[in-house]
A and B are shown apart, each in its own frame.
Chain A
Amino acid sequence: DQQVKQNSPSLSVQEGRISILNCDYTNSMFDYFLWYKKYPAEGPTFLISISSIKDKNEDGRFTVFLNKSAKHLSLHIVPSQPGDSAVYFCAAGGGADGLTFGKGTHLIIQP
């Protein structure tokens, strides 16, 4: 049962353009959402988060949008840079359990 879904295993974007990574969830008890970035041979690193009382959170080039009615969130990276090439995990939480992760989207930034 996939409670957090990232339906695009990979995404290719040209350098300088906007990257949009999508995530859907099914559990309405989730009240906190996070994006993690992972390079090969490293652990996931925290990127940005949003609580369910907000619909947008911005941090530099990264913006996360939350649509609670659609149970959908997205991560926007603009402008995309070569160092952004990595696997991006959407994660959701809401209580004592650890986070529930999506399968990840491999973002490839092309020069």
Chain B
Amino acid sequence: EPEVTQTPSHQVTQMGQEVILRCVPISNHLYFYWYRQILGQKVEFLVSFYNNEISEKSEIFDDQFSVERPDGSNFTLKIRSTKLEDSAMYFCASSELLAGTGELFFGEGSRLTVL
């Protein structure tokens, strides 16, 4: 069964460092997303991406964040200068249709710990 894969599964970094989280969405999907879940809190939408550009982003997704689809298969989330409060589980997801009309397939997540 096709699946969304994410790397790394866990990354520990110092505050102020840049982090890149990588995702390989399901190959025929057109819509890509990043969500995050801070420990003990709800899953929060960060950004959606379609046709090589951001389609929507939340208030959380400020100038420190960026996304890219560099090679047609990978979908990356970059945090330019990490803060302590960026520590969370980051989930990549993809879908064939818009999220509001079809199911999302999630990866297993990348745990980011900022020290």
B26-47 residues at the A interface, CB under 8 angstroms: 33, 35, 41-47
Asked if B108 and A43 sit within 8 Å, CB to CB, the answer is yes
A57 to B58, CA, bound (A): 30
Of A34, A42, A96, A104, which is within 8 A of B55 by CB?
A96
Asked if B108 and A97 sit within 8 Å, CB to CB, the answer is no
A103 to B35, CA, bound (A): 13
Could you give, for residues 43-62 of chain A, a 1 whenever the CB lies within 8 Å of some chain B CB and a 0 otherwise?
11110010000000000000
B32 vs chain A, min Cβ distance (A)? 10
B98 vs chain A, min Cβ distance (A)? 6
Main DSSP-derived SS at the A contact region: loop
A32 to B99, CA, bound (A): 9
B4 vs chain A, min Cβ distance (A)? 7
B73-115 residues at the A interface, CB under 8 angstroms: 91, 93, 98-101, 103-109
Given A43-B91, A93-B101, answer yes or no on A98-B45 (Cβ-Cβ < 8 Å): yes
User: Which residues of B have CB within 8 Å of A95?
Assistant: 98, 100
How many residues of chain B have a CB within 8 Å of chain A?
Answer: 28
Asked if A43 and B41 sit within 8 Å, CB to CB, the answer is no
Verify if A100 is at the interface (C-beta below 8 Å from B): yes
A52 vs chain B, min Cβ distance (A)? 10
Of A45, A46, A93, A103, which is within 8 A of B100 by CB?
A93
B90 vs chain A, min Cβ distance (A)? 10
A-B contact pairs, 24 of them (CB 8 A): A31-B100, A32-B100, A32-B101, A36-B106, A41-B108, A41-B109, A42-B109, A43-B106, A43-B107, A44-B43, A44-B106, A45-B106, A93-B98, A93-B100, A93-B101, A95-B98, A95-B100, A96-B98, A98-B45, A98-B56, A101-B43, A102-B42, A103-B42, A104-B42
